[in-house]
């Protein structure tokens, strides 16, 4: 169970963890809610939530006790005192200063030491990086919906459509076909706008000769998908084709080296080397990829700065790009599940250049 594993990963100086962020609460309990406190100790764990959720929480949560939070800080105090807890870790990267203040300055909790450094976040991210079978299944489901959306949007795109129309059509399709949310605000940028890696869709109409870059994903059971495709409308110039092929070659180069044991920075380098060799090094400013799961950006990162090593069970995106300001850009992105021998590509959508 993840809760037990968490207590093993925490430094001995920490007796308990108070988990507040919705994403981590959901990760450990499997139960999504907007309110709750998950209190994890070495001698038992309990989830407090309010009257709106308690009935559903009692039915759904099997991994720890549940209780309705009536006077929740006093209840937390009593639970901790019964277990002789002195030190309690908090999620430094996820809670607000206001939340930290409310806990640390609470009259009921004044006898405990609250630790808000990286210890708890580190322990949780070690667990979350290794995806469970259920999480991978959900990510595959989300990805399948997104890929249906990609096929749908290929029939929708034509000269005269605006970027916003393409964005909204893709969003509606994914939500209409089983997606419970969008992974992030869909990017659909065309022509000169495609040189902005995270450009925001505008009322610009698609013209012949435009590249359109679409970066999108959907969510099932809280798990995110993430993919990017660049397609051409009408025709593509020789230069556009050359840039496209370079990005594709870089993307495939990274995918071919990913496996458990590989330093993340080497995964990035495999893609970056191809782009640099082709003379576009300065046009690839971002990292090659990032972890994805219950959140759209998780560890590990395929970044030149990363010191992490890939492990079996990680899911990372592989998304090199080339961006020529004022002209055009290309990005191609798949998600990869890391294994002992390589990686399983979770993305099946066509990658060779599509000219609509
Ligand atoms: Mn991505």
> Measured at the alpha carbon of residue 349, what is the angle toward residues 343 and 355, in degrees to the nearest 5?
135
What does the block give as tokens for 23?
A: 């994403």
Helix-helix angle 22-29:119-129, to 10 degrees: 50
Task: Locate the DSSP E strands across 14-55.
Answer: 16-19, 37-41, 44-49
Gap between the Cα atoms of 353 and 214, Å rounded: 14
Residues 34-89 pLDDT 10s: 999 999 999 999 999 999 999 999 999 999 999 999 999 999 999 999 999 999 99
**pLDDT of res. 313:** 98
Q: Chain-wide mean pLDDT for the chain?
A: 97
Q: Are 74 and 81 in contact (CB under 8 A)?
A: no
Residue 277 CB: number of other CB atoms within 10 A? Answer: 12
For ligand 1, the distance from its centroid to the CA atom of residue 44, given in whole angstroms, is 37
For ligand 1, the distance from its centroid to the CA atom of residue 280, given in whole angstroms, is 20
pLDDT surpassing 90 at residue 29: yes
Residues 161-197 pLDDT 10s: 999 999 999 999 999 999 999 999 999 999 999 999 9
Q: Which helix (H) or strand (E) holds 264?
A: helix 264-277
* Residue with token string 């409310």: 102
Gap between the Cα atoms of 165 and 188, Å rounded: 9
Residue 65, Ramachandran bin (φ over 0: left; ψ between -120 and 50: alpha; else beta): beta
Residues 121-134 pLDDT 10s: 999 999 999 999 99
Q: Beta strand pairing status for 87-89 and 16-19? A: parallel
Residues 331-348 pLDDT 10s: 999 999 999 999 999 999
For ligand 1, the distance from its centroid to the CA atom of residue 225, given in whole angstroms, is 9
Gap between the Cα atoms of 48 and 3, Å rounded: 15
For ligand 1, the distance from its centroid to the CA atom of residue 105, given in whole angstroms, is 39
**Does domain 133-345 fall into CATH 3.30.70.3040?**
no
Please, which residues bridge with residue 218 across strands?
182
For ligand 1, the distance from its centroid to the CA atom of residue 52, given in whole angstroms, is 35
Q: What residue spans define the domains of the chain?
A: 2-129, 133-345
**pLDDT of res. 1:** 78
Q: Which CATH class is domain 2-129?
A: alpha beta
Cα–Cα distance list, 197 to 270, 287, 319 (Å): 20, 11, 11
For ligand 1, the distance from its centroid to the CA atom of residue 199, given in whole angstroms, is 14
Phi and psi at residue 120, to the nearest 5°: -70, -45
Residues 59-74 pLDDT 10s: 999 999 999 999 999 9
For ligand 1, the distance from its centroid to the CA atom of residue 167, given in whole angstroms, is 16
For ligand 1, the distance from its centroid to the CA atom of residue 290, given in whole angstroms, is 7
For ligand 1, the distance from its centroid to the CA atom of residue 242, given in whole angstroms, is 23
Gap between the Cα atoms of 2 and 180, Å rounded: 25
Q: Are 100 and 109 in contact (CB under 8 A)?
A: no
For ligand 1, the distance from its centroid to the CA atom of residue 227, given in whole angstroms, is 6
> Would you give the DSSP letter of residue 4?
H
Radius of gyration of the chain (CA): 23
For ligand 1, the distance from its centroid to the CA atom of residue 311, given in whole angstroms, is 19
Residues 239-290 pLDDT 10s: 999 999 999 999 999 999 999 999 999 999 999 999 999 999 999 999 999 9
What does the block give as tokens for 130?
A: 């290794």
């Amino acid at each position: 169970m993840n809760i037990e594993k968490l207590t093993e990963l925490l430094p001995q100086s920490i007796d308990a963890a108070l988990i507040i962020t919705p994403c981590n609460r959901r990760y450990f309990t499997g139960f999504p809610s907007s309110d709750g406190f998950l209190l994890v100790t070495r001698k038992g764990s309990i989830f407090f939530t309010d009257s709106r959720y308690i009935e559903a929480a009692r039915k759904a949560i099997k991994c720890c006790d549940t209780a309705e939070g009536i006077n929740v800080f006093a209840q937390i105090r009593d639970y901790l005192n019964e277990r002789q807890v002195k030190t309690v870790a908090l999620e430094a990267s996820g809670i607000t200063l206001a939340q930290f203040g409310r806990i640390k300055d609470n009259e009921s909790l004044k006898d405990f030491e609250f630790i808000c450094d990286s210890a708890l976040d580190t322990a949780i991210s070690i667990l979350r990086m290794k995806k469970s079978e259920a999480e991978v299944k959900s990510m595959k489901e989300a990805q399948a919906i997104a890929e249906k959306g990609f096929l749908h949007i290929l029939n929708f795109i034509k000269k005269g459509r605006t970027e916003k129309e393409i964005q909204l059509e893709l969003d509606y399709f994914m939500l209409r076909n089983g997606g419970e949310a969008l992974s992030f605000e869909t990017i659909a940028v065309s022509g000169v706008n495609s040189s902005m890696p995270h450009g925001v869709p505008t009322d610009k109409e698609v013209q012949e000769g435009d590249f359109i870059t679409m970066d999108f994903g959907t969510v099932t059971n809280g798990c995110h998908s993430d993919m990017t495709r660049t397609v051409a409308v009408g025709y593509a110039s020789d230069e556009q084709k050359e840039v496209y092929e370079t990005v594709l070659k870089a993307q495939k180069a990274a995918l071919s080296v990913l496996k458990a044991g590989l330093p993340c920075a080497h995964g990035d380098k495999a893609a970056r080397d191809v782009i640099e060799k082709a003379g576009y090094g300065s046009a690839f400013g971002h990292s090659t990829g990032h972890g994805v799961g219950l959140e759209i950006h998780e560890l590990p990162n395929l970044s030149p700065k990363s010191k992490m090593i890939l492990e079996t069970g990680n899911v990372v995106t592989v998304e090199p790009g080339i961006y020529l300001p004022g002209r055009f850009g290309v990005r191609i992105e798949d998600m990869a599940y890391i294994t002992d021998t390589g990686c399983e590509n979770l993305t099946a959508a066509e990658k060779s250049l599509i000219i609509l």
